Chain A
């Protein structure tokens, strides 16, 4: 009886996460894959399953792979994600450095401050940017009242606004891995460099920066991967020309109600992101 019970209970600790993964990752992925081969239809939901008389629909993949509009959407997403990651690295590096060099008693409060944006909702934060940047927003109002400009600057719905929102949203993803790698280093390393005649700038260039490189690569990928699929920020802050793959996917799904094309886009985005994800995993395994 006891042995039998144990035989049932033993796989349980593994079974729970496996079930979790099956329900929340594998099953939705399978649904998306099925959708990508389904036929559009005038029904609710607006599809006919791929196992009907016509067989699976290869049209959505063919369309997405051939149409230059979708190519441009992927390229733009990659560029915006890379730009965001670069921006986050640039802003995050000094922050992480300050964190790593802060007195131990200060580190926790400062880390909390880095994570503070996560405590408020994502949409209210974007709302705040809209409030700041729109034509009658605070920035334009202040500049006008100071007499620096007469007509409001077109700040909102622009590329700078898009990158501002992206950097703001993804900065913590860069600061945390950078901080982790910078705080692990042996302070004697930098002292040794100085002792051997390196000026503070040379120490930074030849020791601090190269030692932080794996952390920086991890930070870059950790921002790049989620940023590549971002659709809310381009939608709310970006220019109309910012047709990123996430936004296009959203439009196909909700506006055109073309679920198969949206699903094909989702599958291809996932495949495209496998490379940076694998790269990130290799980096982490090496550390």
Chain B
């Protein structure tokens, strides 16, 4: 039995449908990221699970128990807020102890568990500080400790790294992952940052218009995007429009034929091709190759991004690795090629 089961969840705010008959299962001890743009429904999903919003239809089942009508304070799960929502009038220790106190945990045990929680997030000795005397990163840890101190089996995290600056984000991300393994709790983390989603999760659920459009392991979702939206949202793949013709896929924009590894689903109208899977192949001919002119070259450190105007008029993003030598200069004519396995037919 999954730890958390969402069945046909719908939620409407005025004219907009935030959740649209959404189904999702989360296993115990799993790290799941909900990835989506603004308005995709990812935050609403979290708020419905936490009980702050009631779904218009559908059910939230936690270990098989229907949570509809159960108020937030009676739900056996915890949430970490994007703003951290630390209580400004309570010191760090009292913030962390808050949930234990509400549960009637005796004072002595409370103190011990607060100490443990502080040690867990590396904030020993900070118990007496007030939240406004902490740095952003420290506040984030207090919020995390407060949400974990009750040892929930399910923790909801709303953009937990969103307020941190870039170099702190990576480190905190690893710590989050380590904490999740250590506590064995299932984490559902909302994020709009695709790298964060891919780096931390066991599984990624990509949300669009209140529905899960793709669910899977990060590598699988990245390599085999199911729809145009997923392909472009994750790693900005080239989406090539065209139509199936025999075993191949005719793409007028490239003036070329793409040939995927397996059979092309009938009625395919678009294929995805990752920039880093396209290579310069002078003299390449036939399917899975195309010609064009380099329009722009952008150095990105570990590689260069080329914008190549294909013979059919489409603009192709091409990743050029540093170890392949200097990138071709602007204005030069190039031949491009790729493996059949890199051609991903899209369903929608």
Contact = CB atoms under 8 A, between A and B. Distances in A.
B102 A186 contact: no
B103 interface: yes
Interface in A82-119: none
Contacts of B146: 192, 196
Contact of A188 (B72, B73, B83, B103): B83
Interface stretch (B84-92, B214-222, B270-278, B306-314): B84-92
B150 interface: yes
B87 A194 contact: no
A192 B83 CA distance: 10
B78 interface: yes
A232 interface: no
Contacts, number: 62
Given A188-B83, A196-B102, 12 more contacts: A186-B85, A188-B81, A189-B87, A191-B50, A192-B79, A194-B73, A196-B98, A197-B99, A198-B98, A198-B102, A202-B102, A203-B73
Q: Among the interface residues A192, A194, A203, A213, which one has the most CB atoms of the partner chain B within 10 A? A: A192
A210 interface: yes
Contacts of A192: 79, 81, 85, 87, 146
A200 B78 CA distance: 17
Contacts of A58: none
A191 B99 contact: no
B73 A197 contact: yes
B52 interface: yes
13 contacts: A186-B85, A191-B72, A192-B79, A194-B51, A195-B72, A195-B75, A195-B79, A196-B99, A196-B102, A197-B74, A198-B98, A202-B73, A211-B87
Given A198-B102, A199-B73, A202-B102, A193 B87 contact: yes
A197 B89 CA distance: 18
Contacts of B73: 194-200, 202-203
Nearest to B82: A188
Contact of B83 (A186, A196, A206): A186
B99 A211 contact: no
B88 A197 contact: no
Contact of B103 (A194, A197, A213): A197
Interface of A: 186, 188-189, 191-200, 202-203, 206-207, 210-211, 213
Contacts of B51: 194
Given A196-B78, A196-B150, A191 B85 contact: yes
Nearest to A199: B73
B85 A189 contact: yes
Contacts of B83: 186, 188
6 closest Cβ contacts across the A-B interface? A196-B99, A197-B102, A192-B85, A188-B85, A194-B72, A188-B81
Interface in B58-103: 71-75, 78-79, 81-83, 85, 87-89, 98-99, 102-103
A196 B78 CA distance: 7
Nearest to B143: A192
A193 B99 CA distance: 8
Given A186-B83, A188-B83, A210-B89, A195 B50 contact: yes
B76 to A, nearest CB: 9
A206 B79 CA distance: 19
Contacts of A198: 73, 98, 102
B71 A194 contact: yes
A198 B150 CA distance: 13
B78 A195 contact: yes
A199 B87 CA distance: 16
A30 B150 CA distance: 65
Given A193-B98, A196-B99, A211 B78 contact: no
Given A189-B85, A202-B102, A197 B79 contact: no
A197 B97 CA distance: 12
A280 B150 CA distance: 40
Contacts of A186: 83, 85
Contacts of A189: 85, 87
Nearest to B89: A210
Nearest to B50: A195
Q: Among the interface residues A194, A197, A198, A206, which one has the most CB atoms of the partner chain B within 10 A? A: A197
Contacts of B87: 189, 192-193, 207, 211
Nearest to B99: A196
Nearest to A195: B79
Nearest to A214: B89
Contacts of B50: 191, 195
A197 B81 contact: no
A208 to B, nearest CB: 11
B255 to A, nearest CB: 54
B168 to A, nearest CB: 21
B81 A191 contact: yes
Contacts of A196: 73, 78, 98-99, 102, 146, 150
Given A194-B73, A196-B150, A202-B102, A211 B85 contact: no
B103 A211 contact: no
Interface string B261-275: 000000000000000
Contacts of A195: 50, 72-73, 75, 78-79, 147
